[in-house]
Amino acid sequence: MEDYLERLKKGSLKLYALESELPPEEAVRVRRIYIERETGTDLSATGSFTIPIDRAATKNCENMIGAVQVPVGVAGPLVVKGEYADGSFYIPLATTEGALVASVNRGCGAITRAGGAEVRIFRDGMTRAPVFAARDIPHAREICDWVAAHREEIAAAAESTTSHGKLTGITTTTGGTSVFVRLEFDSKDAMGMNMVTIASAKAAGVISAATGARLIALSGNFCTDKKPAAVNLVMGRGRTVAAGIFLPDDLIREVFKTDAGTLAEVNLRKNLVGSARAGSLGYNAHAANIIAAIFIACGQDPAHVVEGSLAITTVDPAEGGVYVSVTLPSLPAGTVGGGTGIATQHECLTLLGVAGGGSPPGSHARKFAEIIACAVLAGELSLLGALAAQHLARAHQQLGR
């Protein structure tokens, strides 16, 4: 080991090259010891973990030195009444925020007592939007017209790169001489970014060759990936899913210590008017909290919480109570690929019954999306209830240590 450490010190061996000379487990250990010596930092806790290294160090994380461990709690049981998820589930939540799991758990209890959350997927499509340069405005229009007239040709090229992905939509728009082609794919059980990027590269080549458009960037930010954007709020990205529950008056009083009218007013003035006044793209209480905790537990890309937080929570008056719903227009989530194969994350997906590819393809990812939406609904209900009853500060004093 000392020989490798000395070579790293001299610069004749690069940190990223250790796996080419050592087994992954030994490479991670040598790299960690080198960083400890260079920085004077004890990384023994970072170096103590249970996930198998072979996959993580070669497929998920470059220059790996260990793992940061996040506590995982469960909320539930949560009864879900969806087209793909139909049953009772315990929700894994990876978080360091005291009170979050307890809050979601209270919402799960209310939903389950009320008979279960109704949930449906309205749209399913991962996007990538290359940007092209046109010579002038007439040429920009020609490019858009050609794309509209040759969808089948573009689809054939894109789908030739994957055995699973299917092109389901094309939208074009321009900004001066910049032409954006937003390609949407059904990525089945994968979240799909790698799949659609490779497919979009092939499609972009066909468009360039046929129109003379100059490809500037394979991602032109009209996708839009990992950034708050109105296009995702309006058109959707990943899974567009909504969940709702009717809460009777007596349950609201017993569980949330408030009443239907107060619950509705808090949602109106906070989630809707307050968010509008702030210029927010999300109209919800804390949807990102639940999505982030599930994403980390289940091997999703945490950066996609940005899109997932573009949620809208509504509270509709109903006879004898209220109907509360959440709509997630842009939920990029998958059950294969990325971090889903890491052992601990795979276990959390298994806990939900969605690990790996589904039969038929896509069914696991859609089931996962339905469960996430219902968990978000639980979180929204609990926070709205705490605010309506003026219990928020007390809960954080007790649990948010």
Residue 217 binned pLDDT confidence (cut-offs 50, 70, 90): very high
Give the active site residue among 97, 142, 159, 186.
97
The CATH topology of domain 72-124+239-399 is 3.90.770
- pLDDT over 80 (residue 401): no
Active site residue 97: yes
Question: What is the per-residue pLDDT for 292?
Answer: 98
**Is-catalytic flag, 139?**
no
What mean pLDDT do residues 203-209 have? 98
Residue 152 burial by Cβ neighbours in a 10 Å radius (0-12, 13-18, 19+): exposed
Within 13 A of 237's CA, how many CA atoms are on the CB side?
A: 31
> At residue 68, does pLDDT exceed 60?
yes
Confidence of residue 117 (pLDDT cuts 50, 70, 90): very high
Q: Write down the domain spans for the chain.
A: 2-60, 72-124+239-399, 130-217
Does residue 315 surpass a pLDDT of 80? Answer: yes
Whether residue 172 contacts residue 180, with contact meaning beta carbons closer than 8 Å, is answered with yes
Contact 93, 75 (CB under 8 A): yes
Buried/exposed 161-189: b ≥16 CB within 10 Å, e otherwise: bbebbbbbebbbebeebebbbbbbbbbbb
CA distance 320 to 248: 6
**CA-to-CA separations, 386 to 107, 358, 379, in angstroms, rounded:** 11, 38, 11
Architecture of domain 130-217: 2-Layer Sandwich (3.30)
CA–CA gap between residue 124 and residue 83 (Å, rounded): 14
Confidence of residue 207 (pLDDT cuts 50, 70, 90): very high
Mean pLDDT in residue range 304-315: 96
* Residue 390, pLDDT score: 87
Residue 399 has pLDDT above 70, yes or no: no
pLDDT at 393 over 70: no
Average pLDDT over every residue of 323-344: 96
CA-CA distance, 42 to 45, in Å (whole number)?
A: 8
Whether pLDDT at 225 is above 80: yes
Active-site residue (options: 139, 150, 391, 396): 396
State how far the Cα of 144 lies from the Cα of 171, in Å rounded to an integer: 9
| The token pair that represents 236 in the structure block | 């959707």
Q: Which two structure tokens, joined as six digits, stand for 84? A: 């793909």
396 is catalytic: yes
Q: Does residue 67 register a pLDDT over 60?
A: yes
pLDDT higher than 80, residue 392: no
Q: Around Cβ 28, how many Cβ atoms within 10 Å?
A: 24
Is the predicted pLDDT of residue 395 greater than 60, yes or no? no
The per-residue pLDDT for range 359-381, each reduced to its tens digit, is 999 999 999 999 999 999 999 99
Name the active-site residue from 26, 142, 249, 301. 301
Mean confidence (pLDDT) of the chain: 95
Q: What is the pLDDT of residue 58?
A: 87
| For helices 392-399 and 100-113, angle between their N-to-C axes, nearest 10 degrees | 120
**Rounded Cα gap, residues 100 and 87, in angstroms:** 23
Element (H, E) at 241: strand 237-248
